[in-house]
Structure 1
């Protein structure tokens, strides 16, 4: 894994804690949460304050996340909002904690200038020992304060000020005035610099969790569904009618299509489907070649294809299916039909714009694991797990590709892979969808990509530069 760390593909964008003052603030908060202190003089922390170096020191990667249920956090700076969240047990945790920091940035900036803010993402479940507990988690409440209890004291001072203003003898109550003065010495002027924190409760609707080998919970959809990686004959007892396994490709596709969560790549007007298909074909060829121990680093797309075609082994079905789709895009002819059972099916669709797009992209990344780009962007834990099983040839290719092609312009690559999700683009897409009648897809029918859109002729097709180089 060290080559990932060296390239910034693992533990990247962490916040450095290197001054004695910050280390001491962290230790004071850490002692409040765990009863332990670190002996390290410098380390790096993520969005929640988790430090990989301290995890190694404690030999405990869950020291801020006991039982993987109620995530604890330590904030030393609002700059932590730019950091990733490591060891994430619930897909909603990062967005909740980041939103909490952004919405309280002014107050947190003032608080962290003098002290550490620490707390917990709490729900009604304290230990997940049964699959049913996952469905009990519906609201996340954030409890937070500083080591010196600045928030609690500010709240107490606010109540005393209110008493002082409304009680008839408040002006002559020396005891009340003395309490207010003493608290104000610690909190400052809360009228000019309020330290109260807002929006401390967040709804947890659809989500992914690493518990029970990985589970996707869609309960806010028209037909609630749980998608589990556990084999069908070992299904867990979820209090929900429909539980699917990753082997139920047709039913997963039907669910996603029924709830308008996915669409065929070639129907996405904000994407260049050809670019994406070409890149996925590259990834499939890389998997095919590196499995034979062949070095593919620095090979062009033409060299990759030529080398793959010269190998004795047949190219996988994923390649054949996507190549048929590419041929139709370029040359026309008979439209290919990819059923959900076809290995290339999930490589031919994308998540539509909706509140759970990131969750669907995470699911799709697991259903098309050879696309190392989407796997790295949307499901890093799955990427790291897969990476540990690859040989050196594929590891070298993956680290080289991601550090050069993705890190060079993350925003551009994301836009060209997932589409433009800017407010203006989303409004235009929404207005267009409102004018168009949505296609009907009865539940239970295999959703087949709609390739009925007229293919542009080669003479009118606009040439654009793809996210991975080259003009198409």
Structure 2
């Protein structure tokens, strides 16, 4: 992991917390969760307030995610809105946090001048034991507290202001007036600064959960579709009258579901050639094969000529594996005819030819599923399925790890938004991937 850390491919773009008063506010939030205080004088946080340094100190990566449901958060500054979420059990945690930041910007801006917000993203279950527990999560409620009790003080001041306005002779209560002055010194003028968040309830849309090895939940108007391993508790038993279940190894049914619901973009020359996505995947397949044949190869010295030479020398192996020749034929067909008949393509190869429909709300989730179905493409895996990428990275040889880091650094990290827009057609850059 050291190489990933140095290249900022893990825990990158986090916000440093080092000012004593901010560290103290963070500790008060930890107190509120019943957690030990940190002794660190500086550490970094992500959008939710998760800190890899604090997690290491506590010996608990799930200190803000104790049951991997009802995620906790600590908001120190509005700037956290621009940070990634680096540790979560649900793929839509970042989207929910974005909604909360956007809906309550005024309150967050005002409160974090003097205080820190913390709390939980509460839903209808406290522990996930089977698929039905995941399907029960329809909406979430942000339970919000403040480290310095600013929210409670603002609420108390609001009550006293209302009493002053509505109760005759209340202005003669010196103790109440003194209390109002004391509170106003801490909260400011609550008539001008909205200190209480406006919106706390949000819909829980389609998501991936890391429970049971990974579960995809897709929502349509009148149906729900679950894609996961058939061994997951509740598979085909939880709400069978309203939920369709697809096994992760059933390539044909998964693809048909994504296609019929408009979640994947068919391979047409109009986007295939300009994006370079299929050529990218072909390149990923070749380098993966080279590494699989000889993990000791110095991949930094492998250029286009070396790849062509390797392909000629290993023609039988490449033909037998089949993926690279298939992609080459597919690209030629698309260039010549403008498209390709997917009914002629074996189900497990179809995912190599498509990407998520760019304007579909589930584009990030679908691209995550496609990346899982095309494991040789470590770049797409890193972009959309970081948990899967990190797990695969552990099995790479040292030489290949060096090559992977170098490839991601010179391609994706140079301009993430432009890279995602070109290859995957993603125009909205609001997921902080």
Same fold (TM over 0.5): yes
**Alignment correspondent of 2:276:** 275
Say whether the 8 Å CA contact 2:14–2:84 is kept in structure 1. Answer: yes
* Cα distance, 1:172 vs structure 2: 4.0
Q: What is the DSSP-based 3-state SS (H/G/I as helix, E as strand, rest coil) of the residue aligned with 1:272?
A: helix
* Cα distance, 1:392 vs structure 2: 2.2
**Alignment correspondent of 1:297:** 300
Task: Specify every segment of 5 or more residues in structure 2 that has no aligned partner in the other structure, as ranges.
Answer: none
Which runs of at least 4 in structure 1 moved beyond 6 Å after TM superposition?
none
Say whether the 8 Å CA contact 2:74–2:117 is kept in structure 1. Answer: yes
Q: Deviations over 1:132-161 (max 9, x none)?
A: 111111111111121121112212322332
- Say whether 1:402 aligns with 2:405: no
Between 221-230 and 336-345, the greater mean CA deviation after superposition = 336-345
Q: What is the DSSP-based 3-state SS (H/G/I as helix, E as strand, rest coil) of the residue aligned with 2:326?
A: helix
Q: What is the DSSP-based 3-state SS (H/G/I as helix, E as strand, rest coil) of the residue aligned with 1:412?
A: helix
* Cα distance, 1:422 vs structure 2: 5.5
Q: What is the DSSP-based 3-state SS (H/G/I as helix, E as strand, rest coil) of the residue aligned with 2:192?
A: coil
**Alignment correspondent of 1:363:** 369
Output the CA distance in 1 between the equivalents of 2:137 and 2:234: 23
Output the TM-score relative to the length of structure 2: 0.90
Q: What is the DSSP-based 3-state SS (H/G/I as helix, E as strand, rest coil) of the residue aligned with 2:318?
A: coil
**Alignment correspondent of 1:314:** 318
Q: What is the DSSP-based 3-state SS (H/G/I as helix, E as strand, rest coil) of the residue aligned with 1:218?
A: strand
Q: Deviations over 1:70-124 (max 9, x none)?
A: 1111122222222221221011111111221233333323322222221111112
**Alignment correspondent of 1:143:** 143
Residues 180, 20 of structure 1: CA spacing in aligned structure 2 closer, same or farther, 3 A cutoff?
A: closer
Output the CA distance in 2 between the equivalents of 1:362 and 1:225: 16
Output the CA distance in 2 between the equivalents of 1:286 and 1:246: 26
Residues 164, 226 of structure 1: CA spacing in aligned structure 2 closer, same or farther, 3 A cutoff?
A: same
Task: Specify every segment of 5 or more residues in structure 1 that has no aligned partner in the other structure, as ranges.
Answer: 424-472
Output the TM-score relative to the length of structure 1: 0.83
Say whether the 8 Å CA contact 1:318–1:343 is kept in structure 2. Answer: no
Q: Deviations over 1:300-349 (max 9, x none)?
A: 34432332331252342221221111122345599565656443210101
Output the CA distance in 1 between the equivalents of 2:275 and 2:181: 69
Alignment of 1:141-290 (within 5 A): 141-174=141-174, 176-231=176-231, 235=235, 237-240=237-240, 241-266=243-268, 269=270, 272=273, 275-290=276-291
* Cα distance, 1:273 vs structure 2: 5.3
Between 45-54 and 215-224, the greater mean CA deviation after superposition = 215-224
Q: How many residues align?
A: 422
Q: Deviations over 1:29-50 (max 9, x none)?
A: 1111133111222211111111
* Cα distance, 1:129 vs structure 2: 2.0
Q: Deviations over 1:272-316 (max 9, x none)?
A: 356111111000001100012233325334432332331252342
**Over the residues paired in the alignment, what is the CA RMSD in angstroms?**
2.5
**Alignment correspondent of 1:106:** 106
Residues 85, 333 of structure 1: CA spacing in aligned structure 2 closer, same or farther, 3 A cutoff?
A: closer
